[in-house]
Chains A and B, each alone.
Chain A
Amino acid sequence: MSSSDLAPSAGLPELASVFWRPRVDERILRRREHIWTITTALHTLPFIAAAALLALAKPVTLPVSLILLAHAWAIPELYAARGANVIRPRGPAAAAAAGAERRALGLLGDLVDHSARSLLERTGLVVERGRLGVWLLGEAGALLVRPRGRRVLCYCVSAVDPELPAGDRVAHLLLALRADESGFATVANLAFAGAPWRVRRRVAATARPALAEAVTQARG
């Protein structure tokens, strides 16, 4: 059979395992961004309001107000840390020998263009432009920087075999993303959505250039 005979792909087969989820599109992504913004506000504003009220009503309670403000600051930070964690390197799999890691990285390098390959060598992450935004793919998760670069969505998603070499784990995500971007975002679990600066502070220093590149591409 030739490739020209192929019917258009119906989507990722993995969608069958999350059949109850609506397929992700622009509208759903925007709604999720809004929900995360509202949730963050609901988590923080009561603490800020209580801190202000206490400080005004009884200045002697200022230490309590400070504790409340610390809570208001810490809760979004914890969520952002959870989001940043999805692109944290998992380290070499126990079963993967050094040769396997090299072969896997070689294949992954062949799948991306020169600039993405250069970034991959420095950061271990792959930047891939899609219709929904610019993706940053790691071993066990992906970040989606939305157009204009003001929001990032952090997804937990990985190949089901944890013993694959790191390069292969990234390649699995890259191929699935390229085959069906919307299906990929549907299968993945959303861990965080918010401003890129929140995530940037929590990702490893080695990953920051990749995130900066994704944000730059998303703004372009």
Chain B
Amino acid sequence: MSKLIRMDRTGHTTLAEWSTDDPEAVEAAVATFRAELEQGYFAVVTRGEGEAEQVHELPTDASLVILRRPIAGG
């Protein structure tokens, strides 16, 4: 089961869960993903030790997709 989570003020929130053999769940996850990106979140997928990738479309085969807020120099 794959998860889309958003880091927010609650620690994190699970926004969607899907498996690739469930098209309806995938479709719902993609819709949620796009809505969050429109809200200004960025999506990151971890790729093994010390590696992550910024993504603009939901990678449906990823086990975990994390939504984060932008960062800025202080």
- Which A residues fall within an 8 A CB radius of B? 1-3, 6, 9, 11-14, 17-18, 86, 93, 95-97, 99-104, 106-107, 111, 113, 128-130, 140-141, 155-161, 163-165, 167-168, 171-173, 175-176, 178-180, 184, 187-189
Contacts and interface: CB of A to CB of B under 8 A. Distances in A.
Nearest to B49: A113
Contact of B70 (A13, A101, A113): A13
A175 B59 contact: no
Nearest to B46: A111
Interface in B40-74: 42, 44-47, 49-55, 57-62, 66, 68-74
B10 interface: yes
Contact of B71 (A99, A100, A158): A158
Nearest to A17: B72
Contacts, number: 129
B21 interface: no
Contacts of A168: 7-8, 11-12
Given A3-B62, A157-B74, A107 B54 contact: no
Interface residues of B, number: 33
A1 B54 contact: no
B49 A2 contact: no
A128 to B, nearest CB: 7
Contacts of A104: 7, 11-12
